[in-house]
A and B are shown apart, each in its own frame.
Chain A
């Protein structure tokens, strides 16, 4: 009984976490920064996939601070994606475990 309730609590936590990671990923936005050198000057573009097609969105010149921010966002996005996938696996595992037969 204790184990079942612990699993239920963990499942609720995982469902909550899934929602949080999805929200975070939405806020972080999509795309990778791409630098293009034109006549000796560096201009930035954001490469992202829109409806299955790769698009280059022009951003222009960027400060080093902003470039670092994009870098950090990219790392964080990868981290959240990995954790979201882990959370989804946990949800599946917990749901399966809770569906198991209880001893009478």
Chain B
């Protein structure tokens, strides 16, 4: 099942790359851990369990101006459109994978789906995604260039959002992933990017990260970030 999942994920990404869409998206969520393997090569990097969801962030304002019928593009692979939540944002379902689009939530926020008419899809708006969109890196994989958040940004983001989770298991998974990434930075002994991204965060977010690290009793990481 795992092999099929990888193959299908790469097929989806390569289809997006062919029409020039992949370049305008950022792969977030647990799937991007898979693409950090080169970044953390030679270290004790063992990405945790991946769910079926491929979360694709559409940075705002949208860069894609061409019309791409995403559901139609993936139909022959067996993806079917499903609606989730009380307001019904769209996602593409397959037994191996679920493709979902996300956008950064701004202002007061809304529980309504964010329309992406150019893609014939809608997206779920979520907080703190601007931070991920602002700190990306490009990974070359299978003749594709994939945008993923910088691992430092990914870890810091997880450290902020875990407190906002309703489900404890999701929060535990966030903590686990954040600590694994920080562990790899410790192993690398290079904290420049981690500190740089941390300092680029608004002061309030920085104090949230510090407070959350104290709650997790991780003074070592706290010292690195604040030194």
A residues apposed to B, CB below 8 Å? 1-6, 9-10, 13-14, 16-17, 20-21, 24, 75-76, 79-80, 82-83, 86-87, 90
Chain B residue contacts of A21, Cβ below 8 A: 80
Which residues of chain B have C-beta atoms less than 8 A from A24's C-beta?
A: 80
**Which chain A residues lie closer than 8 Å to B52 at the CB level?**
10, 13
Contact call B172/A2, Cβ cutoff below 8 A: yes
Chain A's closest residue to B96 (CB) is: A86
CB closest chain-B residue, reference A1: B169
- Asked if A17 contacts B95 (CB within 8 A), the reply is yes
Chain A residues with Cβ under 8 A from B176's Cβ?
2
Complex interface: chain B residues within 8 A of A79 (CB)? 76, 78
Is B167 interfacial (CB 8 A cutoff)?
yes
Shortest Cβ distance from residue B19 to the other chain A in the assembled complex, whole angstroms? 20
Interface size of B in residues (CB-CB distance below 8 Å): 19
Contacts of A14 in B (CB 8 A): 95
CA distance A11 to B76 in the complex (A): 24
Which of A1, A10, A76, A83 is packed against the most chain B CB atoms within 10 Å?
A83
* Contact present for A86 and B95 (CB under 8 Å): yes
Which residue of B80, B82, B95 has the most chain A CB atoms within 10 A of its CB atom? B95
**Cβ–Cβ < 8 Å partners of A20 in chain B:** 80-82, 93
User: Given the complex of chains A and B, what is the CA–CA distance between A52 and B131 in angstroms?
Assistant: 59
B172–chain A nearest beta-carbon distance, Å: 6
The verdict on B173 contacting chain A, using a C-beta distance below 8 Å, is: yes
Interface: B163 (CB within 8 A): no
Residues of chain A contacted by B169 (CB below 8 angstroms): 1-2, 4-6
Q: Does B37 contact A (CB under 8 A)?
A: no
Per-position binary interface string of chain B over residues 171-197, scored 1 when its CB falls under 8 Å from any chain A CB and 0 otherwise = 011001000000000000000000000
New A-B pairs, 19, CB < 8 Å, besides A1-B169, A20-B80? A1-B172, A2-B169, A2-B176, A3-B49, A10-B51, A13-B93, A16-B93, A17-B82, A17-B93, A17-B94, A17-B95, A20-B93, A24-B80, A75-B76, A76-B75, A79-B76, A80-B80, A83-B95, A90-B95
**A6 vs B30: C-alpha distance in the bound complex, in angstroms?**
12
| Contact pick for A5, options B81, B98, B167, CB 8 Å | B167
Note all chain A residues with C-beta closer than 8 A to B172.
1-2
In the complex, what's the smallest C-beta–C-beta distance from B162 to chain A, in angstroms?
13
Q: Which residue on A lies nearest to B75, using beta carbons?
A: A76
Closest-CB distance, A70 to chain B (whole angstroms): 16
Distance in Å from the Cβ of A69 to the closest Cβ of chain B?
13
Please list 25 pairs of residues, one from A and one from B, whose beta carbons are closer than 8 Å in the complex, sorted by A's number.
A1-B169, A2-B172, A2-B176, A4-B169, A5-B167, A5-B170, A6-B49, A10-B51, A13-B52, A14-B95, A16-B82, A16-B93, A17-B80, A17-B82, A17-B95, A20-B80, A20-B82, A76-B75, A79-B76, A80-B78, A80-B80, A83-B78, A83-B95, A86-B95, A90-B95
